[in-house]
Amino acid sequence: MALISLKGIKKTYRLGQTDVPALLGVDLEIEAGEFTVVMGPSGSGKTTLLNIIGLLDRADPGGSFKLDGEELAGRDFNEMASLRNRKIGFIFQSFNLIPVLNVRENIEFPCLLRKEDRAGLDRRVELLAEEVGLTKVLHHRPDELSGGQRQRVAIARALVTQPEIVLADEPTANLDSATSEQILQLMERLNASRGVTFLFSTHDPRIMKRAKRVVLMADGKLVDGTAAAHAETHASSGLDHS
């Protein structure tokens, strides 16, 4: 059974009097342990898709969205929030750390939100910090860290609740290329060592080339594999059409 299964997922935003179609019927399956990248030009619907999978937003009625075989279409926002807290980890382009909390407190924050028992939490945070290379800065605040270190905090924070899937919308967009490379390696390592399932959106050809699977979007739809291979050829020649 796929971890995530989308069938006929549509999303239309309402902007004043106008309807903005963002997803026109997406079918997608993601298995546990995958390292998948969603590529596509600006406006093709990548963020919309990730927001729906991440239970941050709801698709239009009619489609089917299963997580672990459980149908989630039609759930209310409270149920979505509770499922999101338990099952989804997020990594954002702009890190979204809490400025007044230090690294340790930022990483453990999702566990406190879930009112988890503190027993074992310190150790869990320390192990994660070690794995992402933050042991020496656990007491620093985000404004005392480099961009790469901030994204490492965000990665540790996404993993601390042991989510079923980690979603990352353009995780390296605010990082220089050397730092992006390190962050990418880190996520690949976590995918291999912990079996963490990752789903990214990106414009970054380097991420796309390394992904085990590329899903290409255009105009609110998934485009077939041939088109993805075509895009890869362009990406590896350094072109970016978005």
Ligand X SMILES: Nc1ncnc2c1ncn2[C@@H]1O[C@H](COP(=O)(O)OP(=O)(O)OP(=O)(O)O)[C@@H](O)[C@H]1O
Tokens encoding 225: 């594999």
* Site of tokens 């993805």: 228
48 binds, among ligand X, Mg ion, none (CB under 5 to 8 A by kind): ligand X
Per CB under 6 A, the list member of 17, 42, 193, 233 interacting with ligand X is 42
192 binds, among ligand X, Mg ion, none (CB under 5 to 8 A by kind): none
Task: Using DSSP bridges, classify how beta strands 213-218 and 221-223 pair: parallel, antiparallel or unpaired.
Answer: antiparallel
CB of 159 to ligand X, least distance (A): 24
Amino acid letter, residue 143? D
Q: Cα dist. 129→80, 153, 160, 236 in Å?
A: 29, 8, 10, 33
Answer yes or no whether residue 44 interacts with Mg ion by CB under 5 A.
no
Answer yes or no whether residue 178 interacts with ligand X by CB under 6 A.
no
CB of 205 to ligand X, least distance (A): 14
Per CB under 6 A, the list member of 3, 6, 22, 215 interacting with ligand X is 22
Report d(CA 199, CA 34) in Å as an integer. 8
* Residue 63: strand, helix, or coil: coil
20 binds, among ligand X, Mg ion, none (CB under 5 to 8 A by kind): ligand X
142 binds, among Mg ion, ligand X, none (CB under 5 to 8 A by kind): none
Answer yes or no whether residue 40 interacts with ligand X by CB under 6 A.
yes
Answer yes or no whether residue 48 interacts with Mg ion by CB under 5 A.
no
Answer yes or no whether residue 93 interacts with Mg ion by CB under 5 A.
no
Answer yes or no whether residue 205 interacts with ligand X by CB under 6 A.
no
Report d(CA 124, CA 212) in Å as an integer. 29
Taking alpha carbons only, the member of 97, 102, 92, 111 closest to residue 160 is 111
Rg of the chain over CA atoms, in angstroms? 18
Answer yes or no whether residue 202 interacts with Mg ion by CB under 5 A.
no
Residue among 46 and 152 whose Cβ is closer to Mg ion: 46
Half-sphere exposure of 164 (CA within 13 A, CB side): 18
Residue among 108 and 170 whose Cβ is closer to Mg ion: 170
Tokens encoding 21: 């179609």
Answer yes or no whether residue 47 interacts with Mg ion by CB under 5 A.
yes
Answer yes or no whether residue 172 interacts with Mg ion by CB under 5 A.
no
Are 95 and 101 in contact, with CB atoms under 8 Å apart?
A: no
Residue among 55 and 107 whose Cβ is closer to ligand X: 55
Report d(CA 130, CA 60) in Å as an integer. 42
Residue among 167 and 190 whose Cβ is closer to ligand X: 167
Sign of the torsion formed by the C-alpha atoms of 204, 36, 189 and 83: positive
Which residues lie near Mg ion (CB under 5 A)?
46-47
Which residues lie near ligand X (CB under 6 A)?
13, 15, 20, 22, 40, 42-48
